[in-house]
Amino acid sequence: MKLLHTSDWHLGRTLYGKARHDEHQAFLAWLADKIEQEHVDVLLVAGDIFDTTTPSNRAQALYYRFLCRVAASRCRHVVVIGGNHDSPSFLDAPRELLQALDVHVVGAAAADPADEVLLLRDGQGRPELIVCAVPYLRDRDLRTAEAGETLQDKERKLLAGLRAHYAAVGAAAGQKQKEAGTDVPIVGMGHLFTAGGQTLEGDGVRELYVGSLAHVTPGIFPACMDYVALGHLHVPQAVGGSEAIRYSGSPLAMGFGEAGQQKSVCLVRFEQREPAVRCKPIPTFQQLARLRGDWETISARLHALAQDEHAQGTTWLEIVYEGDAVVGDLRERLQALTADTHLEVLRVQNRRVVALALDAPQAHESLDELDETQVFDHCLDAHDVPAAQRDALQQTYREALALLHEDDARAG
């Protein structure tokens, strides 16, 4: 039997105003093809199907059309759990209809954890897999608030609630296995943050609970689970050194911090109850690049990218300027270099301009003792602005002050 584990699609997501519908459509088409090519029996989707709790009609269409295509394939079952970005009620609303297509949806935590345990059968009706489909567990699912609680009390209760929930689910899975009369594999699912999990800048991963409890240890998963399919972290990774507890990661780079990262899905083949895991690389459907450094470095990289004959489609860029020289017309320079190319700048961070904020004045001075010009001079000194640039900057500063004073005079 073969499983495919994926998560964190974030359908409907945008990147600095750019829609990603085409990327998601290409990914889901690739995924449906891969399910056919690899003869996948069960598809597991570990949460964050949508990017918001109110997905657009286009995002919903992608989701339902994909499920219909997979239901018509040789894949026997699809199991979907809700993530922290998803609306539990929205995911659960068509559950009975999707059940007819052997698509099993658990959007919200069940009152009885045993109801999250699914016994899946093969084409002949024989038990073949038990899935503990645990969705993202919200604060209200795990503890009861009490007056006068400290933050430590809340964390302790949340951790106890998580352990109790997974223990109950594991016990129910063991009972189902016993009732089935066969030693079928048990697979766990979850949408949470485990200790030591890797994240990247700008990947959009949110902390899930107040305090430090967002990171739980892998020991929370019962020993009866032969494989644990996790969602929430966008970097593909094993947990605690175990290949049998994994995050599949997001199929698309969620931000420029993930530019160049190889995305993948997890293919899991069971021989009896022993899983063998392979990570299948996902093609890149939209090129992203982050360029950082001084102007000479950035302009050289832009020129090289513009001349790249192997580039396919538009490349979206984030520019992080970190040079010593003040470049006030950075956006204009970037626009001139990228005009009539396949490059499109989505975000600019001018770290030099941002850094030009007044540091604390000399210990023997206060702001009351400094005039406007002296404050600006301190700013130039604090950030080692080259002498060759000072005259122009000071002149611009004086002109700005003059305009402000003129506006004040008119208002008076």
Query: For residue 81, is it left (φ>0), alpha (ψ between -120 and 50) or beta?
Result: beta
Mean pLDDT of 5-28: 96
84 band by pLDDT with thresholds 50, 70 and 90: very high
Would you say residue 388 has pLDDT above 50?
Answer: yes
Q: How far apart, in whole angstroms, are the C-alpha atoms of residue 293 and residue 301?
A: 10
Which position has the higher pLDDT, 309 or 246? 246
User: Structure pTM?
Assistant: 0.81
Would you say residue 369 has pLDDT above 70?
Answer: no
pLDDT of residue 335: 93
405 band by pLDDT with thresholds 50, 70 and 90: low
366 band by pLDDT with thresholds 50, 70 and 90: very low
Phi, psi (degrees; rounded to nearest 5) at 171: -65, -40
pLDDT digits (tens, 9 = 90+) for 122-181: 989 999 999 999 999 988 888 877 777 777 788 888 888 899 999 999 999 999 999 888
Percent of the chain with pLDDT over 70: 89
Domains of the chain as residue ranges with CATH: 2-281 (3.60.21.10), 287-411 (3.30.160.720)
Mean pLDDT of 203-221: 63
Query: For residue 148, is it left (φ>0), alpha (ψ between -120 and 50) or beta?
Result: left
pLDDT of residue 207: 53
Average model confidence (pLDDT) for the chain?
87
363 band by pLDDT with thresholds 50, 70 and 90: very low
Q: How far apart, in whole angstroms, are the C-alpha atoms of residue 243 and residue 276?
A: 8
pLDDT of residue 399: 76
Q: Which residues contact 123 (CB under 8 A, 6 or more apart)?
A: 76
DSSP 232: S
Q: How far apart, in whole angstroms, are the C-alpha atoms of residue 243 and residue 170?
A: 20
Chain-centroid distance, C-alpha 40? 25
Q: Which residues are 119's β-sheet partners?
A: 130
208 band by pLDDT with thresholds 50, 70 and 90: low
